[in-house]
Amino acid sequence: MEEKIIDPMDSRGFVLLSDYVPGIIQEIRYFSSYNFIGERITGYEEPCAIVTQEAARALQNVAAELNAQGFRLKIYDAYRPASAVKHFALWGVDDLDQRMKPFFYPDLEKQELFEKGYIAKRSSHSRGSTVDLTLFDMNSGKEVDMGSPFDLFSQVSHPDYKGISDEQYENRLFLQKTMVKGGFDTLDCEWWHFTLHGEPYPDSYFDFPVSSKVLNHS
């Protein structure tokens, strides 16, 4: 069968996640300067989470289950343009730029971030069905304590890391189990990272900007 060629600028299969999960909290880190590079990342034109329609439907179900238990989803990143991934790679070869090292990769050198799988030169996020997220406790009004912050590139952030408190470990386990039940696969080095199982574009890497404007299809 002839392979279908997909235009990397074609956003027709994508939606705003907030249209499907109105209660989702969005802190799109790569739109801000508070990330491991320290500046807004190429391709992030708006602080909004964009995903494939299939991933949005799955997250809608996950969010409904969590809401019933007093939690909301908080999302840090979703679809990531290929140009943003290129920005990461170019930063990775600039040895002089270490401004965010104390906060995000205190124990590793830049090249190790790529070698150990924390940063990919081709990211699943660019396929549109991967999300980085955590839980927000509606009773306490705070993020659930996961034992390490988002994008801390360290062994401490591995989902199965045992050197944290029992409560923190249980919180990670609860998030992982809920997301897996909702149809997502986990990543062994980041507790916050999930990819839709059976994603619709497993071999396509998109490059349209993160902007609600690109989703206004006629």
- Cα–Cα distance, 65 to 55 (Å, whole number): 16
DSSP strand pairing (71-77 vs 50-52)? unpaired
Report whether 178 contacts 170 (CB < 8 A). Answer: no
User: Can you give the length of the chain in residues?
Assistant: 218
Is residue 132 within 8 Å of residue 187, measured between CB atoms? no
Find the catalytic residue in 46, 112, 167, 190: 190
65 included as an active-site residue: no
User: Is the CB of residue 29 less than 8 Å from the CB of residue 150?
Assistant: yes
Catalytic residue annotation: 190
